[in-house]
Amino acid sequence: MQAIEIRRKVTEEVFKEAMRKGKFGITYTGNLVDRLGGFIDYVMIEAANLKRLPDYSNSTFNLRAKTVIEDSQVVPLIRYYGYELRLVLVMSC
């Protein structure tokens, strides 16, 4: 269980870094990460699955998580739907 929690924290940090590169603020990014647990778990699982592919068999977990996040195009989607997404997140609290 402890290994899963460590991977989850690493995945959260990789996602936060991707959001920072997308010019999102620290507070917004932190709040978003707190509410996107399902997406963080998805990235974690997909990054682990990438290890089975020959191209990623020797790569680090961080690189695989970054690849999954970039391939998902989630940062541009959050940028595009930013205001609507904020409304949904605020209303879900």
**Higher-confidence position of 87 and 78:** 78
The whole-model pTM stands at 0.84
Residue 14: Cβ within 10 Å count: 23
User: In 3D, which of 66, 53, 52 has the Cα closest to residue 10?
Assistant: 66
* Domains of the chain, residue spans: 2-91
Three-class DSSP category at 25:
coil
Three-class DSSP category at 30:
helix
Work out the average pLDDT over 32-48: 93
